[in-house]
Amino acid sequence: MNDNKPSKTKTSFYRRLYLAYLIERGINTVPKIIAVTDMPRRTAQDTISALHELDIQCRFEGANKDGCYRILDWGAVNPQWIQDNIRRICELLDYPLDSIT
């Protein structure tokens, strides 16, 4: 049975790559991420918290709500691949591309 719907594993993986990409491009707070993606706050927070599972080191800098996230190390992930495939990633996740290009 193949309905061409991506697996939860694939969408989870791409969502993490996408959020790391956004953070790297200055869309680096939960409110900014929500504004661009329209994803629920909890999904954004959980996805950021899960970046370490891909060996992407992300740190919150600042105090409370006045801070932002920063990618410290991409680990084994090639950020250039994300840049080259951002259109495909956005289409798969059904996120708008025009807000980030």
Does residue 99 belong to any structural domain of this protein?
Answer: no
**Inter-residue contact 51 to 30 (CB < 8 Å):** no
* Phi, psi values for residue 30, rounded to 5°: -60, -45
Per-residue pLDDT reduced to its tens digit, 15-54: 999 999 999 999 999 999 999 999 999 999 999 999 999 9
Does residue 1 belong to any structural domain of this protein?
Answer: no
- pLDDT interval class at 5 (50, 70, 90): confident
**Inter-residue contact 59 to 70 (CB < 8 Å):** yes
Does residue 3 belong to any structural domain of this protein?
Answer: no
Does residue 100 belong to any structural domain of this protein?
Answer: no
The predicted pLDDT at position 45 comes to: 96
The whole-model pTM stands at 0.91
Does residue 17 belong to any structural domain of this protein?
Answer: yes
Residue 61: CATH number of its domain: 1.10.10.10
3-class state of residue 73 by DSSP: strand
Does residue 98 belong to any structural domain of this protein?
Answer: no
Provide the domain limits for residue 40. Answer: 8-93
The predicted pLDDT at position 62 comes to: 87
What's the structural domain count of the chain?
1
